């Protein structure tokens, strides 16, 4: 893929979709991202990232997104050793309690068009959590379908 200004580095994962989304000017403008000549190119796994750990992560953003009318999908590979599904379920329970968000549909299997169980799904008011059977930390790479 030879797009002008696109630095295609796949050091950590196959991230061509993200590279295209965040580095091509026609995609950057609607997202209010500076044009290529105004900023660094987006890449995965930067060695120069000045990162500060935020113990809240993005937890505090979800309630505002839901209140704004957005539907939120949280997903996790059920074989993820970096962020185990049990941890995600824990913070979702905390989220439900803190923001008074009831369960709309309980934890249950979800199936593909050929009736194979592909994971589990849990619907909370404004948010759906899905596990992806057999996927690790990089769900889109492990189970793109």
Domain spans, the chain: 1-51, 61-139
CB 139 within 8 A of CB 132: yes
Query: Which segments within the chain are labelled E, that is strand?
Result: 72-77, 103-111, 117-124, 127-132
Convert the pLDDT of each residue in 75-98 to its tens digit: 999 999 888 999 899 999 999 999
Which CATH code, of 2.140.10.10, 3.40.50.11320, 3.40.605.10, 3.40.50.2300, is assigned to 61-139? 3.40.50.11320
Residue 82 confidence (pLDDT): 86
Q: What average pLDDT does the segment 15-35 reach?
A: 77
Convert the pLDDT of each residue in 100-140 to its tens digit: 999 999 999 999 888 899 999 999 999 999 999 999 988 98
CB 105 within 8 A of CB 124: no
- Confidence band, pLDDT 50/70/90 cuts, at residue 12: low
Q: What average pLDDT does the segment 54-71 reach?
A: 88
- Name which of 3, 57, 46, 58 is nearest 27 in CA terms: 3
Which region holds residue 44: left if phi is over 0, alpha if psi is between -120 and 50, else beta? Answer: beta
Please tell me what DSSP assigns to residue 95. Answer: H
Residue 4 confidence (pLDDT): 45
Contacts 24+ apart (CB under 8 A), 66-73: 66/101, 66/125, 66/126, 66/127, 71/126, 71/127, 71/128, 72/126, 72/127, 72/128, 73/127, 73/128, 73/129, 73/130
């Amino acid at each position: 893929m030879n797009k002008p200004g696109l630095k295609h580095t796949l050091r950590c994962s196959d991230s061509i979709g993200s590279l295209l989304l965040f580095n091509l000017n026609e995609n950057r403008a609607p997202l209010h991202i500076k044009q290529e000549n105004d900023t660094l190119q987006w890449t995965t796994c930067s060695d120069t990232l000045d990162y500060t750990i935020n113990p809240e992560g993005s937890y505090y953003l979800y309630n505002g997104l839901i209140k704004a009318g957005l539907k939120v999908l949280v997903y996790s590979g059920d074989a993820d050793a970096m962020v185990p599904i049990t941890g995600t379920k824990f913070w979702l329970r905390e989220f439900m309690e803190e923001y008074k968000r009831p369960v709309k549909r309980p934890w249950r299997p979800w199936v593909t068009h050929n009736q194979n169980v592909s994971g589990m799904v849990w619907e909370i008011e404004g948010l759906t959590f899905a596990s992806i059977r057999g996927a690790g930390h990089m769900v889109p790479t492990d189970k793109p379908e």
